[in-house]
Amino acid sequence: MKTLLPVAMSDIHVHLEPRHVEELFGRGHALTKWRYLTIPGQFACRETVEVVGPSGRVPGAVVVGPARRQTQVEISLGNGLVLGIDPPLRESGRLQGTPGATLVGSAGSVVLESGVIAAARHIHMHPRDAREYGVADGQRVRVRVPGARGLVFEQVVVRVSEEYALEMHVDVEEGRAAGVVDFQLVELLG
Amino acid sequence: MKTLLPVAMSDIHVHLEPRHVEELFGRGHALTKWRYLTIPGQFACRETVEVVGPSGRVPGAVVVGPARRQTQVEISLGNGLVLGIDPPLRESGRLQGTPGATLVGSAGSVVLESGVIAAARHIHMHPRDAREYGVADGQRVRVRVPGARGLVFEQVVVRVSEEYALEMHVDVEEGRAAGVVDFQLVELLG
């Protein structure tokens, strides 16, 4: 059974629904690809937004394309302290009952009623990977990061899809806490 | 054998040697106690400094009193990215070969040749605690934080002194990564 897999850190970013792309960047605007992510078909855009909350603002949140069905803002707990928003820990796409925020783009702004989360740490796997690592979609596993700041993450959600490539994702605070270098190998402990 | 102990997060802060207190806050200035810390005799001061590095500034770094033999600046990796300083992971007081920074106070500034570190996570213990928890000064142990962001910190340094009270210290990124609430109980795994 395989155990080693790469890890990457996600800084504050947003996924946008089509009408929000237009409201933030102008009528008929199409997102501009900056670089592909490890998730096939997903890309970081040149467009960024400022996220605004009750107590502060965080500029430079990268837009991740392509547009999605529902706008989602992924922040760290540290971002939350600046914004005055306490983000619930959620899996991507599970937005019911989440707090909102205001997004400011180059051509306008959008007031979200909900959509702000702290993303639960997770591993993306293709079904072939899931077989090779002996885990199943939705399973929670432990993952060890070696090194001077070594630690074992618990409560890591396995997410399996034909559309995923093998990679663990943590936020920047989780990554720094563990001394993670993007794309280093970590160990799935099961 | 006991296993449970409290944990607290340390945000960016500085310890100052006496001449730096005067250079930053004025001739004859005495530090103003704001609140006592769990470490007996140590206190957070009302005084703060701005830490300045090659690429940016972080305001509001709390001064921790009383004055010490050698000035030390404890920052997170995130602070380091703002400042343009890559802080080495060190135990408090081990400053040889560390990078410097500029500190700006209300009455002046100080250019440090060295003294900037990321503090290695650690547990302060009185010798009586060390006996009750079955560990020794300098030992490295694992500590489990329970919860939705639960994890096991490895490489936690045990520091035993007659001057210490029982408490684990992590930086803000480590704390947020684990969903720590200050003074919650964590489990020493040995």
- Predicted-complex ipTM score: 0.94
Residue with tokens 């802080």: B87
Separate counts of helices (H) and strands (E) for chain B: 4, 15
* CB contact (8 A) between residue A177 and residue B179: no
Give the C-alpha separation, B124 to B107, whole Å.
34
Given this model, what pLDDT does residue B54 score? 98
pLDDT surpassing 90 at residue A39: no
- Both tokens assigned to B11: 């945000």
Tell me, what DSSP letter sits at residue A39?
S
* CB contact (8 A) between residue A179 and residue B78: no
CA-based nearest distance A153→chain B, Å: 5
Burial B26-45 (b: 16+ CB within 10 A, else e): eeeeebeeeeebeeeebbbb
Give the C-alpha separation, A73 to B71, whole Å.
40
Given this model, what pLDDT does residue A51 score? 98
Angle at alpha carbon of residue B70, lines to B64 and B75, rounded to 5°: 55
Contact call for residues B161 and B189 (beta carbons, < 8 A): no
Given this model, what pLDDT does residue B40 score? 86
Sign for the CA dihedral angle at A78, A83, A89, A92 comes to negative
Which chain A residue lies closest to B145 (C-alpha atoms)? A154
Contacts of B153 in chain A (CB under 8 A): 151
* CB contact (8 A) between residue B76 and residue A176: yes
Q: What is the pLDDT of residues A42-76, one digit of tens each?
A: 999 999 999 999 999 999 999 999 999 999 999 99
What average pLDDT does the segment A11-25 reach?
98
CA distances from B67 to B21, B22, B71, B98, B176 (A): 8, 11, 8, 20, 29
End-to-end CA distance of chain A: 11
For chain B, residues with pLDDT lower than 70 are none
Q: What is the pLDDT of residues A77-132, one digit of tens each?
A: 999 999 999 999 999 999 999 999 999 999 999 999 999 999 999 999 999 999 99
Given this model, what pLDDT does residue A190 score? 82
Q: pTM here?
A: 0.95
Sign for the CA dihedral angle at A88, A92, A98, A101 comes to positive
pLDDT surpassing 90 at residue A168: yes
pLDDT surpassing 90 at residue A38: no
CA-based nearest distance B175→chain A, Å: 8
Q: Is B179 on the interface with A (CB under 8 A)?
A: yes
Given this model, what pLDDT does residue B190 score? 82
Given this model, what pLDDT does residue B38 score? 86
* CB contact (8 A) between residue B151 and residue A149: no
Contacts of A120 in chain B (CB under 8 A): 148
